[in-house]
Amino acid sequence: MAVSREKKQELVECYEQGMAKAPHVFLVGFEGLSVPEATELRDQVRQIGGRYVVVKNRLAKKAIKGTPLESLEAEFQGTTAAAFGAEDAVGIAKAVTEFAKKVKAIKLKAGLLDGRQVSAREIEEIAALPSREELIAKLLFVMQSPVSGLVRTLGELQRQFVVVLDQVRQEKEKGAVG
Give the amino acid at 59. Answer: L
Residues 6+ positions from 100 with CB-CB distance below 8 Å:
28, 106, 107, 108
Q: Which neighbouring-strand residues pair with 83?
A: 26, 52
- Which option is the CATH number for 5-129: 3.30.420.10, 2.120.10.30, 3.30.70.1730, 3.90.420.10? 3.30.70.1730
pLDDT digit string (tens) for 117-130? 999 999 999 898 88
Give the amino acid at 50. Answer: G
Instruction: Output the pLDDT for position 41.
Output: 93
Contact 119, 26 (CB under 8 A): no
pLDDT digit string (tens) for 75-91? 999 999 999 988 788 88
pLDDT more than 70, % of the chain = 98
Instruction: Output the pLDDT for position 13.
Output: 86
User: Which has the closest alpha carbon to 52: 22, 77, 31?
Assistant: 22
Give the amino acid at 100. Answer: A
pLDDT digit string (tens) for 6-46? 888 888 888 888 888 888 999 999 998 899 999 999 999 99
Listed by start position, the domains of the chain span 5-129, 131-178
pLDDT band at 1 (very low <50, low <70, confident <90, very high): low
Instruction: Output the pLDDT for position 44.
Output: 93
pTM over 0.75: no
Residues 6+ positions from 115 with CB-CB distance below 8 Å:
23, 68
The DSSP call for residue 104 is T
